[in-house]
Amino acid sequence: MRSRDEISELMKGFKEVNPIAEAPFLKLQALMYAVIAMRAAGGQKAPPNEGMATDIDTVAHILPYCDAMFVDNECRALLLNIPKRLQPEWVNRVYSMRVKDEFLAFLHEIRNGITKEHVEGLREAYGDRDLTGVPAAQPG
């Protein structure tokens, strides 16, 4: 039987040869599945719906690299149920229909913060099409 010190050294070594264990998507997936397990242990009778596994995979892989994400209410609630001390910073960038006004405010903040140079770049890249709501760049 190995001592605690030997086990601790083996664990450190495993982390060094397995950097994927530090990948943000793995941590977020694990936290989301842990919330499902905590809910089940707490007596939740209804299992997650069929799409929850897909939602978890999608959110876990994309959210760490997004400015914001709009998901269904159930998926957002799952993220918000991650204990605060373990909750990744990205969770506060997730919106759903339950907080759609906050999402719209976020989008308006982005739109209102666009510089003339940014608008000019958008128009140069995309032309005038598909820029509904983006103010035209003012000359000079």
Residues 56-115: tens digit of each pLDDT: 999 999 999 999 999 999 999 999 999 999 998 888 899 999 999 999 999 999 888 888
50 and 111, same structural domain?
A: no
113 and 87, same structural domain?
A: no
Residue 2 pLDDT: 77
15 and 72, same structural domain?
A: yes
- Indicate if the pLDDT at residue 10 is higher than 60: yes
Structure tokens at 68: 């914001």
103 and 42, same structural domain?
A: no
Q: State how far the Cα of 41 lies from the Cα of 27, in Å rounded to an integer.
A: 21
Which range marks the domain in which residue 126 is found?
99-140
Residues 14-24: tens digit of each pLDDT: 666 666 767 88
Residue 111's identity, in one-letter code, is R
Nearest in space to 34 (alpha carbons), one of 71, 68, 73, 83: 83
Q: State how far the Cα of 12 lies from the Cα of 81, in Å rounded to an integer.
A: 30
Give the number of domains in the chain.
Answer: 2
73 and 131, same structural domain?
A: no
28 and 11, same structural domain?
A: yes
* 69: enclosing H helix or E strand: strand 69-70
36 and 66, same structural domain?
A: yes
